[in-house]
Amino acid sequence: MHRGIMNDAPTPSPRYDFRAAEPRWQAEWDKRACFAVPDVPPPGARKYYVLEMFPYPSGKIHMGHVRNYTLGDVVARYKRARGHLVMHPMGWDAFGLPAENAARERGVHPAQWTYANIANMRDELKRMGLSLEWAREFATCDPEYYGQQQHLFLDFWKAGLVERKESWVNWDPVDGTVLANEQVIDGRGWRSGALVEKKKLSQWFLAITKFAPDLLDALGRLDRWPDRVKLMQSNWIGRSEGARVRFALAEPAADMAEIEVFTTRPDTLFGMSFLAVAAEHPLAAAAAAANAQAAEFVAECRRMGTSEAAIEQAEKKGFDTGFRVKHPFTGAEYPVWIANFVLMEYGTGAIFGCPAHDQRDLDFARKYGLSVTPVVLPHGADAASFHVADTAYTEDGTAFNSGFLDGLPVAQAKRAAIDALEKQGSGTGVVNWRLRDWGVSRQRYWGCPIPVIHCDACGAVPVPVDQLPVRLPEDVDFSKPGNPLDHHPTWKHVDCPSCGKPARRETDTCDTFVDSSWYFARFCSPRAEVPVTREAVDAWLPVDQYIGGIEHAILHLLYSRFFSRAMKATGHLAVDEPFAGLFTQGMVQHESYKGADGRWLYPEEVEFATAADGTRSATVKGTDEAVTIGRVEAMSKSKRNTVDPGAIIAKYGADTARWFILSDNPPERDMEWTESGVAGAYRFTQRIFRMVEAALPALPPPGTAPEAEGRALRRATHRTIAAVTEALETFAFNVAVARLYEFANAIEAAKDAPGGARREALEMLARLAAPMMPHLAEEAWSLLRPGDATLVAQLPWPDADPALLVAETVTLAVQVLGKLRATIEVPVGASEETIFAAAEAEENVQRALGGKPIRKRIHVPGRVVNLVV
RNA sequence: GCCCGCCUGGCGGAAUGGCAGACGCAGCGGACUUAAAAUCCGCAGGCCGCAAGGUCAUGGGGGUUCGAGUCCCCCGGCGGGCACCA
């Protein structure tokens, strides 16, 4: 049995003392203001704006942050070396529920909790050696920030981009609060356990749907965004063409004479078997008013939760209202049901059911014994025998059983149906969007107050701009349920700015997604007394490279795209698209561990052993208690499979943490954090230092020209420059790391190379590694160039010498019928005849050919020869 | 349920349609050491073979191609998102 490496401290007295070196170089960068840029770049400057998604100040940085900010820092340092003026700011997404939870649970004020967390996390980030410009830092909970956000809200309002309307929320009747979907567990409030109800509240909305067509179209121009993010956004916006169809009620219900439905399949109207409305639909209300059972069904639907997943996964249920509608083409009557799978928010909140060609409708029809009439005949099927059993037919085909549509393919039948509806005035062709307006009202304390005053005489009145910011009151009481702003004794009581009579402040605050929808613009002029200054945003936006988690692929990015359009419409910005380039990183994962009694254990509580056959086992440190090694999964506090970056940096240094996190795998994929991987990265930092230190005495002075006899090593050097450059340009940071490992191996193998070439190689090793391990790079550079006043952080990126990239000979794979049989070494530029002759001369090739005549010879220069017999 | 992504040795992964497994981790053998750590040298996908070499192999099945991890179709498994967590 061998002890695992995880619990061993690194060498007690390493030759490279990162504990002294890292703070020293951080101070040096700071002193020389290496990362500061002006709000307005000088003429001719090539600006580059690198931004990582700013963190929520939970208290400590986690490995996801380390990964995110390391990726951004590599880009920032690389682009700076490429001669760009790089803006790389940092701030805090500081409003949100956790601060209120802390207040309720521990009695600490949200502001105090938040700012203390920020102070701690700022220190942790600084220890990572990130090339950030801290002068631009702000938190979204600073009144200077949220006051400007209120200014934007009022400008949007003036521009017609803010509306007040009603919408449904999850309501916890015991806590008296609105719940997030994730706070609804099995239909009950997470804290109170009370059955959650849907409730209608009057709320503020940002009119994102006004930009829906442009938000969709512009995706096509975001050529540096991942395709999958664009696809997710496209699906979210959800443009669909179809028809609105009005169905006359056989007898009026309440004050309604007809029901309007939206459908993407007007071609299947003849296959109708019922009409269904959402539980929130006015007709459902009418049915509920008249019938206790209907009321009970509507109430049941209201307990289902508001999330789309919950609604669609629930068993299909319905209630026949007894109302009937007339078919617009045939006049036949069909029943109107209330159905739990119809969404009030989408379309008109009502559908017509065609079970033969929609799976949900079919499930519903089978459950309640409703008719199923196929009206689309699959190509090649027989009209007399075709029928639908348990699977709806949703593919293309030809209309049948459909009156005047018979014989038309689906697309044409849709047009013909819409034409007929329009002609008889019972419907129109429309484009429908899945995207809904953005409800920003939150019944919470720790958010940006919505700058509105409600007056009985004047209605909703904007707070005058010169009275901004509307500050959060500090003396708030979290002991009562509900929104502290609402039951604060004085805060909401103000006079109407319009008529001067007593009025009430809006006590809702903004969704925190609003805060993060324009912070990237605020960074350009973070202290301005307007939301943004035009010179600064015009110079710096868009963000050239934005980096963050895929979990933000839809909402945050879409809201930010909306905000830049809205800010453009209100004269604050000139750009539509905030992020020209986007990179989405994967999660950081770790093994999970369980003790004998099933409790989760932190990695540092576990001790490992490896048996002779290589299998690992684990025990609780200092005991014999067996530990079950569980799955590798996303780090989470509940499973305790977390690793504290602070502890890692203290033990191994920032460069090691950065190097490992970059080396493990491609940054867009989920990575596994392993102790052995970190230890390996640490060994490599020490190895580089040793290599440089050991080589120093024999190196010629700085500036010595590399010798001609050093060509082999020089070729390795310049191939590495080219390869690392290419890798950094394409976000293949794990490949850049691999090339540097290979290069370090090559330098060690070339101990006999002349000094000038060795000096060049070692200097390049330091410079090429600098974006990834900036401290060690400075340390190595200072040893190689004693007295040199320039830091690596200030050096331009090296260029590879093209003359040294060209090979003299190439190795070609020789295949017979696509199978590798030999390799041959030929001079670059050898003629095809020579190459084929050499290939065919190989003994192994001859054997594989087996005397058969060669039918075809394929030569891919520099790669392969394939002989076909 | 709908949408999206992923699947290559013991592990993470590399590979403009052209030598599959670079590089790292773990492992094994050796050197150094009183011993260990650290360091250095070497081995290493499976199977057959003393070797030369052969053969199988990129989740499974089919297809396109002189040639497929890569392109196309079908199937399976895993993960993520679904509008008040951020």
pLDDT at A614 over 60: no
**pLDDT of A480:** 82
**pLDDT tens column, A350-376:** 999 998 888 888 888 888 889 898 998
- How distant is C1' of B63 from CA of A395, in Å? 24
Sign of CA dihedral A147, A150, A156, A159: negative
- How distant is C1' of B61 from CA of A861, in Å? 35
- How distant is C1' of B4 from CA of A868, in Å? 42
Measuring alpha carbon to C1', the residue closest to nucleotide B23 is: A738
The pair phi, psi for residue A374, each rounded to 5°, is -70, 135
Measuring alpha carbon to C1', the residue closest to nucleotide B12 is: A664
**pLDDT of A723:** 92
- Residue A851 buriedness (CB in 10 A; 0-12 / 13-18 / 19+): exposed
**pLDDT of A612:** 53
- How distant is C1' of B41 from CA of A745, in Å? 13
Residue A866: which of A824, A805, A803, A828 has the closest Cα? Answer: A824
Q: Which conformational region is residue A254 in: left (phi greater than 0), alpha (psi within -120 to 50 degrees), or beta?
A: left
Average per-residue pLDDT in chain A?
88
C-alpha gyration radius of chain A: 34
**Closest nucleotide C1' to the C-alpha of A663:** B24
Measuring alpha carbon to C1', the residue closest to nucleotide B81 is: A551
**Closest nucleotide C1' to the C-alpha of A97:** B85
**Closest nucleotide C1' to the C-alpha of A633:** B79
pLDDT at A5 over 70: no
- How distant is C1' of B83 from CA of A307, in Å? 8
Rounded percentage of chain A residues whose pLDDT exceeds 90: 48
> Residue A319, SS3?
strand
- How distant is C1' of B16 from CA of A818, in Å? 19
- How distant is C1' of B48 from CA of A310, in Å? 57
Q: Show Cβ contacts of residue A419 under 8 Å, excluding neighbours closer than 6 positions.
A: none
pLDDT at A452 over 90: yes
**Closest nucleotide C1' to the C-alpha of A232:** B4
Q: Are A474 and A114 in contact (CB under 8 A)?
A: no
**pLDDT of A822:** 86
- How distant is C1' of B73 from CA of A397, in Å? 21
d(CA A303, CA A186): 10
In the structure encoding, which two tokens stand for residue A465, read together? 């701009």
Asked which of A124-133, A244-253, A622-631, A794-803 is least confident by mean pLDDT, the reply is: A622-631
**pLDDT tens column, A153-185:** 999 999 999 999 888 788 887 777 777 766 777
**Closest nucleotide C1' to the C-alpha of A631:** B78
- Summarize the confidence of residues A253-262 as an average pLDDT: 86
**pLDDT tens column, A267-297:** 999 999 999 998 888 888 888 888 899 898 8
- How distant is C1' of B22 from CA of A700, in Å? 33
Measuring alpha carbon to C1', the residue closest to nucleotide B20 is: A820
**Closest nucleotide C1' to the C-alpha of A15:** B38
A660 vs A630, residue with greater confidence = A660
Measuring alpha carbon to C1', the residue closest to nucleotide B55 is: A819
- How distant is C1' of B36 from CA of A12, in Å? 14
**pLDDT of A1:** 25
- How distant is C1' of B75 from CA of A63, in Å? 37
Instruction: Name A336's bridge partners.
Output: A275
DSSP single-letter state for residue A598: S
Measuring alpha carbon to C1', the residue closest to nucleotide B19 is: A813
pTM (2 decimals)?
0.90
**Closest nucleotide C1' to the C-alpha of A208:** B83
- How distant is C1' of B45 from CA of A35, in Å? 47
Rounded percentage of chain A residues whose pLDDT exceeds 70: 96
- How distant is C1' of B40 from CA of A417, in Å? 81
Residue A577: which of A223, A171, A52 has the closest Cα? Answer: A223
**pLDDT of A843:** 84
pLDDT at A381 over 70: yes
**Closest nucleotide C1' to the C-alpha of A812:** B19
In the structure encoding, which two tokens stand for residue A494, read together? 């103000």
- How distant is C1' of B73 from CA of A378, in Å? 20
pLDDT class of A8 with cuts at 50, 70, 90:
very low
A658 vs A193, residue with greater confidence = A658
pLDDT at A10 over 50: no
pLDDT at A2 over 50: no
- How distant is C1' of B64 from CA of A367, in Å? 46
**Closest nucleotide C1' to the C-alpha of A748:** B40
**Closest nucleotide C1' to the C-alpha of A863:** B18
- Summarize the confidence of residues A577-596 as an average pLDDT: 84
**CB-side neighbour CA atoms (13 Å) of A845:** 23
**Closest nucleotide C1' to the C-alpha of A819:** B67
**pLDDT of A438:** 87
In the structure encoding, which two tokens stand for residue A14, read together? 């390493």
Q: Show Cβ contacts of residue A41 under 8 Å, excluding neighbours closer than 6 positions.
A: A47, A85, A539, A540
Measuring alpha carbon to C1', the residue closest to nucleotide B22 is: A738
pLDDT class of A202 with cuts at 50, 70, 90:
confident
- Summarize the confidence of residues A234-239 as an average pLDDT: 86
**pLDDT tens column, A19-49:** 999 999 999 999 999 999 999 999 899 999 9
Measuring alpha carbon to C1', the residue closest to nucleotide B13 is: A665
Measuring alpha carbon to C1', the residue closest to nucleotide B37 is: A11
- Summarize the confidence of residues A817-844 as an average pLDDT: 86
List of long-range contacts for A627-632, beta carbons under 8 Å, 24+ apart: A627/A593, A627/A594, A627/A595, A627/A596, A627/A601, A628/A593, A628/A594, A628/A595, A629/A591, A629/A593, A630/A591, A630/A592, A630/A593, A630/A594, A631/A591, A631/A592, A632/A589, A632/A590, A632/A591, A632/A592, A632/A672
**pLDDT of A769:** 95
pLDDT class of A708 with cuts at 50, 70, 90:
confident
Give whichever of A184-193, A496-505, A599-608 has the largest mean pLDDT: A496-505
In the structure encoding, which two tokens stand for residue A461, read together? 């009145």
**pLDDT of A514:** 93
d(CA A290, CA A256): 14
**pLDDT of A624:** 77
d(CA A773, CA A767): 10
Residue A720: which of A659, A765, A773 has the closest Cα? Answer: A765
Q: At what angle do helices A18-31 and A774-784 cross, to 10 degrees?
A: 90
Measuring alpha carbon to C1', the residue closest to nucleotide B25 is: A677
Q: Are A631 and A615 in contact (CB under 8 A)?
A: no
The pair phi, psi for residue A443, each rounded to 5°, is -90, 65
pLDDT class of A781 with cuts at 50, 70, 90:
very high
Q: What's the complex ipTM?
A: 0.90
- Summarize the confidence of residues A762-783 as an average pLDDT: 96
**pLDDT of A744:** 93
**pLDDT of A500:** 92
- How distant is C1' of B41 from CA of A293, in Å? 84
Give whichever of A188-197, A263-272, A434-443 has the largest mean pLDDT: A263-272
Strand B nucleotides in reach of protein CB atoms, 7 A cut-off = 1-6, 10-16, 18-20, 22-28, 37-41, 53-55, 66-68, 79-86
Q: Are A362 and A393 in contact (CB under 8 A)?
A: no
Lateral strand order in the sheet of A856-860: A819-827, A809-816, A864-868, A856-860
- How distant is C1' of B41 from CA of A298, in Å? 78
d(CA A156, CA A280): 30
Measuring alpha carbon to C1', the residue closest to nucleotide B80 is: A551
Beta-sheet pairing, A600-601 with A588-594: antiparallel
pLDDT class of A3 with cuts at 50, 70, 90:
very low
**Closest nucleotide C1' to the C-alpha of A675:** B25
In the structure encoding, which two tokens stand for residue A596, read together? 């004998």
Q: Are A815 and A867 in contact (CB under 8 A)?
A: yes
- How distant is C1' of B59 from CA of A800, in Å? 41
- How distant is C1' of B42 from CA of A778, in Å? 34
- Summarize the confidence of residues A120-128 as an average pLDDT: 95
pLDDT class of A589 with cuts at 50, 70, 90:
confident
pLDDT class of A386 with cuts at 50, 70, 90:
confident
**pLDDT of A841:** 86
**pLDDT of A118:** 96
Measuring alpha carbon to C1', the residue closest to nucleotide B6 is: A669
A376 vs A132, residue with greater confidence = A132
In the structure encoding, which two tokens stand for residue A614, read together? 């290589």
**Closest nucleotide C1' to the C-alpha of A866:** B66
Please give the helix or strand (H or E) that residue A630 lies within, else none. strand A626-634
Beta-sheet pairing, A333-339 with A274-277: parallel
**Closest nucleotide C1' to the C-alpha of A691:** B39
A806 vs A729, residue with greater confidence = A729
